[in-house]
A and B are shown apart, each in its own frame.
Chain A
Amino acid sequence: MIEPIVTFNDVHKSFGDVKVLKGIDLDIKPAEKVAIIGPSGSGKTTIIRMLMTLEQPTSGDIIVDGKNLWKMEKKGSMVDANEKHLRNVRGDIGMVFQHFNLFPHMTILENCMTAPIHVKNEDKSTAKQRSIEMLEKVGLGDKLDNYPSQLSGGQKQRVAMARALVMRPKVMLFDEVTSALDPELVGEVLEVIRDIAKEGEMAMILVTHEMDFALDVADKVLFLDEGVIAEQGTASEVIEHSTNERLQSFLHRFRS
């Protein structure tokens, strides 16, 4: 059997007294594309943010490529991970944000080059070369020296994807990456994600409200509801053939 690249073991998360995630169990295989759907506030973003180490789980384990993300061994017992351990494991993960979060003081090219150079100690010409190729791939080869403020939302999001991709993560996270875009710009971004997905080896977790897109790209769909995975299966099982009532009424809102 193939070892999963990401595993959640009974992961809980509370913010103060509010229990947001109530026991998430999850296995994601290398190269698997997983879509997470569910109503607002169900905890989709929180799952992704814990994996990106932006939020610490209240309990449970997250395993990335065999390593416990939030815990490390110290004198024979497991303790909370320190920054060094997190940095070590985090390198396998990349993320694209809803609001792009490009670095406004850098050009598009610099946005992509900076992490390979400073984080991975790649030499400058290699990093530049790879960044240019990546930006060409997302269709922005002619914008290298522009600043983020000069781009449309769709272009910004494509830069954000290139920036994450040059780091060659094993797992890539997408948190509603089209929901801050004007409707006419959604297509170009989804197109790029489709291309990335087709290429392959990377596992992808996509939080999305685009059901057709999920059907098209995802190997597996999770329906998250009130902090638990209420339904899971292939895209067609979950989106087209489920009898779960809450899922039905959730999906109903997307059909018109």
Chain B
Amino acid sequence: MNIWSWDVFADAFLVIVQGLGITLGLTIACYLFALIFGFFWTFLRRIPFKPLHWVITWIMEFIRSTPPLVQLFFIFYAWPMVPVVGMTLDPFTSAILGLGIHFSTYIGEVYRSGIDGVDKGQWEAARALNFSTRQKWTKIILPQAIPPTIPMLGNYLIIMFKEVPLASTIGVAGILHMANSYGAQYWTYLEPLTIVAILFLVMSYPSALLINKLEKKMNRRFDKKEALNSSKGATA
């Protein structure tokens, strides 16, 4: 028996790419969930009521120090057995919740670092100009807090992408799941799993490069505007 067969490779490839949509879809869904839910943690922790702050911090810490796989299993297998609030969820939804909540705690931390990075004087100027609380956030604080965190947020997208295969353990038919079933069916794992690895590499590596670029660009953000404008001024 051959160790490696290109025929199997080609055949498996056609099967496995069918899972690509699910893998990418799940990544995006989890990511959006985490981006939105991250705000929720960040703002809950800002409520100036100490006990609440401690409780939220503790919950976040708990979620972060538990393996995502355990959380996934909990939501999929244990949640339906919880009285009153428990309910059965399909694998895809369970995966969005499980991974989304897990990563939202990290994303929330990223937002916090962004907000802490905004100078205290900006809050005071916003107050002196009599902005409402809402305007202060939308016009002054967030536009300064978010851009510097974009590279970090991008990094989490890649990390999350690589964690998404965990969902195959509860039956979400992404590329890993497809490869596994293919392997089980034809009793050959080498080609299918190689394909999975290649697909992940092909997608994460360029993303990583892109984020690297983005990061450099962010670091030069204000200098750039400067260069742009002063060159304009020079020619005018």
Contacts and interface: CB of A to CB of B under 8 A. Distances in A.
Contact of B229 (A54, A87, A102, A145): A145
Interface string B36-79: 00000000000000000000000000000000000000000000
Contacts of A101: 119, 121-122, 124-125
B131 interface: yes
A11 to B, nearest CB: 19
Interface stretch (A71-79, A90-98, A205-213): A90-98
B133 A115 contact: no
A97 B124 CA distance: 9
A202 to B, nearest CB: 15
A192 B226 CA distance: 26
B210 to A, nearest CB: 23
Contact of B139 (A52, A83, A102, A118): A118
Interface string A130-148: 0000000000000001110
Interface residues of B, number: 23
A119 B130 CA distance: 7
Given A101-B125, A103-B125, A115 B131 contact: yes
Interface in A153-209: 163-164, 167
A94 B140 contact: no
B144 interface: yes
Contact of A52 (B128, B131, B226): B128
Contacts of B229: 145-147, 150
A114 interface: yes
Interface of B: 119, 121-122, 124-125, 127-133, 135, 139-140, 143-144, 222-223, 225-226, 229-230
5 contacts: A52-B127, A54-B127, A91-B130, A97-B121, A149-B223
Interface of A: 52-54, 83, 87, 90-91, 93-95, 97, 99-105, 114-115, 118-119, 145-147, 149-150, 163-164, 167
Given A97-B124, A101-B122, A167-B130, 10 more contacts: A52-B124, A97-B128, A101-B119, A101-B124, A104-B222, A105-B144, A147-B222, A147-B225, A150-B230, A164-B128
